[in-house]
Amino acid sequence: MKYSLAIFDMDGTVLNTISDIANAVNYTVTKYGYTSYTENEVLNFVGKGLKLTLSQALEAHNISITEEKFQKMFADFIAYYAKHSNDTTAPYDGIIDTMKELKKQGLKLALVSNKRHAQVQELCEVYFPGLLEVCYGEDEVNGINKKPAPDSVNAVLKDLNISAKDAVYIGDSEIDIKTAQNANMDGIAVAWGFRTQEFQKEHGATVFANKPSDLIELCI
């Protein structure tokens, strides 16, 4: 077996969350009188945490506002998304079967995300019961900084007493590629998420999974 542990990203890797995120962005900006976005536009803003998702959306439409107004908009954004984070979200086809097979073969599975920790825990309980050893979201108050900082990955390694060389990080974005590098572990870029393979290559990815079942051969 190549690895003892596989650590998954959430958005764009195991769950297709883009519609719910885009709906939350559009609810917020239209509430304040601004133009809405397509899902493809919002794809470009996802991966660095929800605060940057909103700020990059505003920047993309050249919207300049005060910090006070931004914080008010962000509070509305977070409140709406907290209630609607699972309206249309769903696992990618084949990913749960793949995770079950990896676990059956003896791998431990974990998940880390730049979503807020409480939302990550909730979604993991809904979609991956019994599959994950541990899952972490952004929790800066307790010292877990957002990816590409390796904090969440290192927390998983510490919790499970597994070294970085025995683990692999699986994700779809440039943030995930950099996270694996910062944690000194191997990485696998997935083709079904929010970034193209060409984009992934430009950001340093060298190992790719074109479909979820490819992960079995790459990890076992």
Quote the domain boundaries for residue 210. Answer: 5-16+89-219
Please report, for residues 45, 53, 57, 73, 218, the alpha-carbon distance to residue 28 in angstroms, rounded to integers and kept in the order given.
Answer: 15, 12, 11, 7, 41
**pLDDT tens-digit readout, 130-173:** 999 999 998 887 888 999 999 999 999 999 999 999 999 999 99
In the predicted model, what is the mean pLDDT of residues 113-131? 93
pLDDT at 72 > cutoff 80: yes
Domain end call among 84, 100, 116: 84
Query: Which residue has tokens 């209630």?
Result: 83
Phi-psi group of 161: left, alpha or beta (phi > 0 → left; psi -120 to 50 → alpha; rest → beta): left
**pLDDT tens-digit readout, 14-40:** 999 999 999 999 999 999 999 999 999
- For residues 43 and 149, membership in a common domain is answered with no
pTM: 0.94
Give the pair of three-digit tokens for residue 106.
Answer: 């003896």
Domain count, the chain: 2
Domain end call among 37, 63, 84: 84
The pLDDT value given to residue 103: 98
- For residues 29 and 12, membership in a common domain is answered with no
- For residues 55 and 113, membership in a common domain is answered with no
Give the pair of three-digit tokens for residue 196.
Answer: 């193209």
The upper half-sphere exposure of residue 88, i.e. CA atoms within 13 Å in the direction of its Cβ, equals 10
Q: Give the whole-angstrom CA distance, residue 177 versus residue 187.
A: 7
Please report, for residues 17, 148, 160, the alpha-carbon distance to residue 49 in angstroms, rounded to integers and kept in the order given.
Answer: 13, 11, 25
Output the CA torsion 141→115→39→79 (10° steps).
-60
Domain end call among 34, 49, 84: 84
What CATH number is attached to the domain comprising 135?
3.40.50.1000
The pLDDT value given to residue 49: 87
Phi, psi torsion values for 138, nearest 5 degrees: -65, 130
- For residues 126 and 40, membership in a common domain is answered with no
**pLDDT tens-digit readout, 78-92:** 999 999 999 999 999
